[in-house]
Chains A and B, each alone.
Chain A
Amino acid sequence: MELQPLLFLVFALGAVISAVSTVTRKNPVSSAMSLVAHFFMLAGLYLTLEAQFVAAVQVLVYAGAIMVLVVFVIMLLNLGNEQALTENRGLRSTLATLIGAVFAVQIILVTVAEPTGANALPSRAVEIGTTESIGQSLFTQYLFPFEAISLLLLAALIGSVVLAKRHMK
């Protein structure tokens, strides 16, 4: 008996539940922790699809670095009053719901109209998912975009240092 499809279902369900809980929780820390759980579920999905590197980096970067900073800021600000944080249902949320519904219908239509039919992973999936193959294509085929992103990140890094230093004299 193959367990991978079963695990995929478990992680997919967990991902949906934690994503919904992220937007419905009133407490900001609850929201943030639901998002962390969502990232773990996504990492599980990637693992069942043999994308080991992406799974590890998903946890390392999103759950381990970005969300830690988000939680850190929430704790520092200590947003206690939950009532004050609830958004009023105005034009913005109605518009967002509308656009979201359009996207949902599109996704359903596309998957129903053109089922991918791929029940089994291609045998090359295991090779593609490794760190070696990702590094190989990153430093040969996609070298220019890679370097461009590096420059962009460097600029952001210097920018944040400048912003932080402005008030320190």
Chain B
Amino acid sequence: MNLTQFLIITAQAGMLVNMMLIAAAYMVLAERKVSAWIQNRLGPNRVGWWGMLQSFADVFKLYLKEDIVPAAADYKFHALAPVISIAVAITVYAVIPWSGPLIEIDGVQYGLAMAPDMNVALLTILAMTSVGVYGVALAGWSSNSKYSLMGGLRSAAQMISYELSMGLSIIGVVLICGSLNLVEIIQYQTANGWNVFYQPLAFVIFFVTALAETNRAPFDLPEAEPELVGGYHTEYSGMKFGLLYLAEYGNMLASSAIMATLFLGGWDPVPFIDEAALLGLDPYSLPMVLIQHGVFVGKAATLVFVFIWIRWSLPRFRYDQLMNLGWKILLPLSLANITITGIVLLLLN
């Protein structure tokens, strides 16, 4: 890596972080709008046209708020926890293949993705998901409040339990595509059809575990309001609370994008059809790459909508139900999925 490459990658990182923050702002708006429609309300519509600036006003308000730290809290970790949460959420964005190559500098192609050709991209995503527990667990522990601690412990146990099924459900996809490189997985799906048709069970398992990993309803026990006030972020205020909140939405978009990559063909617009030949475009030309980028973002946005839809439609699980679902249903199912996929692939070859 030379200095030019380093500078370009730094610029890409800055761009991705800002894209993520703006996307999170509009996901919060979408959450409020969709929940309003589901509950037959109007939702925010005063700040900007159709409430478009509502999230920015909220963030501005959070910046102006007093930062209250409980007297008995461990200040160092209380401040560190939101940083860990948001850093982990952003790191995942580096390996997501947002677009194909857009420009070429010094013979190296660059797109919106920072490390699209990373050999272990999928493992990196799993690693960062598992590290995300620290943010929530530390936030709960350092606040020195019973509600926060309960929230932190619940989320640590929940994330450890569901991470296993998540990792195992991906193995079916890896078996079929023969690669951990996300771009190669997308290219395989472009040529052979989307993985969701070959791995429907893995897709369902991954979706359920993604809901649990992002602490979204019906698995939002770490912040269950009726029992735990606000769960792990009860004792947070101001922009520290804002960062924990942002990280949740950042994780939601990241898991949606990963699902789109692994199961829904990534940036391939229609399964089983060669769009580039149909439109008479070179598959690596700029218009085609831009269309693919739009398709990818569209798929991720649709999945985010499903996340929101589920949150406002389903009641919360009880804690023992959550653990039973994770260990007694999802884990055996994902193991069976690997066995069956392996046997079928062996017979086909």
**Contact stretch, chosen from B100-108, B123-131, B186-194, B261-269:** B123-131
| A103 contacts B by Cβ under 8 Å | no
Residues of A within 8 A of B131 (CB): 36, 59, 63-64
Q: Is A125 an interface residue (CB 8 A)?
A: no
Chain A residues closer than 8 Å to B74, beta-carbon distance: 27, 29
Q: Residues 268-296 of chain B: 1 if any A CB is under 8 Å from the residue's CB, otherwise 0?
A: 00000000000000000000000000000
Known: A52-B119, A64-B131, A65-B130. A3 touches B2 (CB 8 A): yes
Residue of B nearest to A72 (CB): B156
Q: Which residue of chain A is the closest to B160 with respect to CB atoms?
A: A68
Is B1 touching A75 in the complex (CB atoms < 8 A)? no
Binary interface encoding of chain B residues 100-141 relative to chain A, with 1 for a CB under 8 A from any of its CBs, else 0: 000000000000000000111001101111110110011011
* CB-based A-B contact count at 8 angstroms: 85
Interface residues of B in 124-169 (CB under 8 A from A): 124, 126-131, 133-134, 137-138, 140-141, 149, 152-153, 156-157, 160, 163
**Known interface pairs A1-B3, A68-B160. Does A60 touch B141 (Cβ–Cβ under 8 Å)?**
no
Per-position binary interface string of chain A over residues 55-99, scored 1 when its CB falls under 8 Å from any chain B CB and 0 otherwise: 111011001110011011001100000000000000000000000
Answer whether A56 and B2 are a contact pair too, CB < 8 Å, given A64-B131, A68-B133, A75-B153: no
B134 in complex: contacting residue of A57, A69, A71, CB < 8 Å: A71
**Interface residue? B26 (CB, 8 A):** no
Does chain B have a CB within 8 A of A24?
no
Q: What is the CB-to-nearest-CB distance from A34 to chain B, in angstroms, rounded to a whole number? A: 12
User: Does B120 lie within 8 Å of A52, measured CB to CB?
Assistant: yes
| Other-chain contact of B119, A30, A33, A131 (Cβ < 8 Å) | A131
Closest to A65 in B: B130
CA distance A4 to B3 in the complex (A): 11
A56 to B130, CA, bound (A): 12
Mark each residue of chain A from 26 to 56: 1 if its CB lies under 8 Å from any CB of chain B, else 0.
0101100100100000000000000011011
User: B120, B140, B157: which has the most chain A beta carbons within 10 Å?
Assistant: B120
* Cβ B134 vs Cβ A4 within 8 A: no
Residue of B with least CB distance to A63: B131
* B160 and A65 within 8 A (CB): yes
Residues of chain B within 8 A of A137, CB atoms compared: none
Minimum CB–CB distance for B75 against chain A, Å:
12
A71 to B131 Cα, complex, angstroms: 12
Given contacts A75-B153, A130-B119, A131-B119, contact A2 B1 (CB under 8 A): yes
Bound-complex Cα distance A55 to B118 (A):
12
A1 to B74, CA, bound (A): 43
Q: Say yes or no for B245: interface residue by CB 8 A criterion.
A: no
- CB of B211, distance to nearest CB on chain A (Å): 19
- Once the chains bind, are B130 and A29 in contact (CB under 8 Å)? no
* Complex contacts, A130 vs chain B, CB 8 Å: 119
Query: Which A residues touch B123, using CB under 8 A?
Result: 53, 56-57, 60, 131
4 additional A-B residue pairs with CB within 8 Å, beyond A56-B124, A75-B149: A57-B123, A59-B131, A71-B156, A131-B180
| 29 A–B pairs (Cβ distance < 8 Å), ordered by A | A1-B2, A2-B1, A27-B74, A29-B77, A29-B138, A29-B141, A30-B76, A33-B77, A33-B134, A57-B127, A59-B128, A60-B123, A60-B126, A60-B130, A63-B130, A63-B131, A64-B129, A65-B163, A68-B130, A68-B137, A71-B134, A71-B138, A72-B137, A72-B153, A72-B157, A75-B141, A75-B156, A131-B120, A131-B180
Interface residues of B (CB under 8 A from A): 1-3, 6, 74, 76-77, 80, 118-120, 123-124, 126-131, 133-134, 137-138, 140-141, 149, 152-153, 156-157, 160, 163, 180
| 6 nearest CB pairs, A to B | A64-B130, A56-B123, A60-B127, A59-B127, A56-B120, A75-B141
Query: What is the interface of chain A, defined by CB distance below 8 A to chain B?
Result: 1-4, 27, 29-30, 33, 36, 52-53, 55-57, 59-60, 63-65, 68-69, 71-72, 75-76, 129-131
